[in-house]
Amino acid sequence: MESSYLDAYKIDGTVNFDQNPAFCNENTYPQFQQHLEQFKAWLKTSCESKQSSTIYKFGDGDFHFLRKSSVGSASPGRRALSKSYGSLENHQDFVDGVCKNDMIAVEIYNNELFHQLYPERKIDLPAEFGYGLVANKWFTKTFSGKIGLIGADEKLDLIQNLMQKKEYQEYLGLEDFNDYVKIPQRFACDDLENVVQSTLKQIKQTKDETVLFLVGIGHVKSGLLHRLKEEKNAIFYDVGSGIDALAGIIDFYRPFMGDWINHRLEGYDYGKIDFLQYTPVEEKEKWLSK
């Protein structure tokens, strides 16, 4: 497969097989490169000064969840919810929570979807920045010793096991993540307040050195993400499926993941993992002895 996206949307150290026409149109986001460098500089400065911010990533799945549309991951019984939308009394808390975040990141081809829901809210940056900076290991190499993860319990358990392997440490450019803050892998939206309190309790116990959290928590983020800084001054950056990449279970055609190598553990029980989208491709996998 060949990548046809323009140089204007390339991120060093990545390959993007996302075939969306937006990446082939120079007018889609002409300041992509300039804003990427500005954002990287802002993030380093903010982490050095222990500034507190939440960065929310919006995609089409969030659009469906916030509109109560039973599509894909937003379908009751699939991942976010075990109950129907009609029995979810606090759905409005998710809708209202989105704009309580400090920054909004939207995939450049989903801007219209976001503004259908929030016509007055400014979009601050492309969600592609998060994907690309996971894929080229900029996050892990730049913030080694200062970075934590917030994600589904089973996926973070898998990452913790992978991080015991020297080869994976070298691939990511760090010895380990400082902290692993875990939420339920499935149906976290059923009881928002319980998940909020459990997550805040874990964040309160994280290391002082942790100034950046990469977050991938599905649709519960709409009600949870903006509250994470209640217990800690840090940057909480929603990188979505970037957490799946760190767990070694990302499809190579996901945005900017075309050059990513999924590191897999021999003998590990992958049956307990709720895969987002993953089709194994031999040349994109590297198996490590457990």
How many residues comprise the chain?
Answer: 290
Domain membership of residue 27 (yes or no) is no
Residue ranges making up the domain that contains 175? 35-288
- Mean per-residue pLDDT pooled into runs of 10, the chain (290 residues): 80 93 94 98 97 97 95 87 92 98 97 97 98 98 98 98 98 98 96 97 98 97 97 97 96 93 96 82 89
Domain count, the chain: 1
Q: Which of 268, 244, 271, 270 is nearest to 255 (CA)?
A: 244
CA distance linking residue 114 with residue 121, whole number of Å: 9
Domain membership of residue 18 (yes or no) is no
Domain membership of residue 13 (yes or no) is no
Rg (CA), the chain: 18
Return the pLDDT at 1: 57
Domain membership of residue 28 (yes or no) is no
Return the pLDDT at 78: 83
CA distance linking residue 234 with residue 231, whole number of Å: 9
Domain membership of residue 137 (yes or no) is yes
Domain membership of residue 30 (yes or no) is no
Return the pLDDT at 5: 85
CA distance linking residue 85 with residue 64, whole number of Å: 12
Domain membership of residue 75 (yes or no) is yes
Return the pLDDT at 3: 63
Written in H, E and C, the secondary structure of 50-69 is CCCEEEEEECHHHHHHHCCC
Return the pLDDT at 164: 97
Domain membership of residue 26 (yes or no) is no
